[in-house]
A and B are shown apart, each in its own frame.
Chain A
Amino acid sequence: MLLGLAGLKCLAVPQDNLSPATRSGTARRCAISGTGICEHVRRTVGRSHRVRASDRRFSRALIPEPGLTTIQQLLSWIQATSISTAIRRADWAVMALEAVHLLGLALLGGAACILALAAVRRSGLRGLSVATLARGLRPLFGIGLLLMIASGTFIVLSMPFKYYLNTAFRVKMLLLVAAVPATAWLLGMAGRPASRLCSARSCTAFGAVVAGRGLQRTTDRFL
């Protein structure tokens, strides 16, 4: 909260008070502390769990500047909350959250893989029909999704600017929003004696979930 107030103070500094170098962007300094970007980021963020070249892009976004948009102000506020700061600064928090995220993925992805494998065959999986599997695996979908959403929310809250600026993250969220209701609907359908059309469709929906996951893994490396 204190950092949020500091941010607002920075917002109040008129552009004219900044040195020409600051305005032209050649030597960007924080308006309030007068320190360079690195020092400012170190003070504001503390340790981050991964430092990559692209983090500089999101680090720049941490410098409170005049003319922040509403969404940037919101992100600044989220970043300054105590929970966000605590996760960001702890050595183990993001790692632990990622472990839970991967565990959720194993449950959700595993159930999706099994069901998709059964759905591409007419006879199901060695005597187990898609309907039987869909009914039995439903708890795995639920628990896996719950774990992923819970841990993912905290990871995003800890570094809102990083994920806001990540295009692949937005694509992933759109895929997720599309895939979850589709999968839930198809699970309901597949729970009844399934038609082959339904099987094919469920396969597509699970494909979307898997694509979303793969995408994020991919961009983890890119960004």
Chain B
Amino acid sequence: MTTLQNLCQWHYDLPMSTALRESDEIFPLIETAHVLAVSLIAGTIVTVDLRVMGAIFRGEPLTRITRALLPYTWYGFVLMVVTGLPLFAAEAAKLYGNPLSV
């Protein structure tokens, strides 16, 4: 076993990770927040991209759009990391074998 795999297994075996993995409510609740964070990040980025392309908000200056939306991209990112860490820890050993997760 590699060091990384050992680390994943150690996270996986933590009592908190096990409790989260086996919970009926907490895991999907965190997962829901995770997906909402994804949509917040992607939504704000797509909006700015479309404005750069000139597809939407043609009457508004680009700086006004970015100034309004960029903070929420970061809030979304923070929320995604905060919710993503426990989700990862709960299934770390399984995700170690998944090439898409690393």
Q: Measuring CB to CB, which residues of chain A are less than 8 angstroms from any residue of chain B?
A: 102-103, 105-114, 117, 125-128, 132, 136-137, 139-140, 210, 213-214, 217-222
Contacts and interface: CB of A to CB of B under 8 A. Distances in A.
Given A127-B68, A218-B29, A210 B36 contact: yes
**Most chain A Cβ neighbours within 10 Å, of B41, B47, B67:** B47
A137 B47 contact: yes
A125 B43 contact: no
A179 B60 CA distance: 29
B23 to A, nearest CB: 10
A213 B72 contact: no
Contacts of A218: 28-29, 31-32
- B-side interface mostly: helix
- A-side interface mostly: helix
Given A136-B60, A139-B50, A140-B50, 14 more contacts: A106-B39, A110-B39, A112-B39, A113-B39, A114-B69, A114-B72, A125-B69, A132-B60, A210-B36, A213-B32, A213-B35, A214-B35, A214-B36, A221-B31
Nearest to A144: B43
Interface string B47-77: 1001000011101100011011100100000
A217 to B, nearest CB: 5
Interface in B15-36: 24, 27-29, 31-32, 35-36
B82 interface: no
Given A125-B68, A139-B56, A110 B24 contact: no
Contacts of B50: 139-140
B32 A217 contact: yes
A42 B47 CA distance: 45
Contacts of A213: 32, 35-36
Given A110-B43, A111-B43, A136-B60, A105 B68 contact: no
B98 to A, nearest CB: 13
B42 interface: yes
Given A125-B68, A128-B65, A139-B55, A113 B60 contact: no
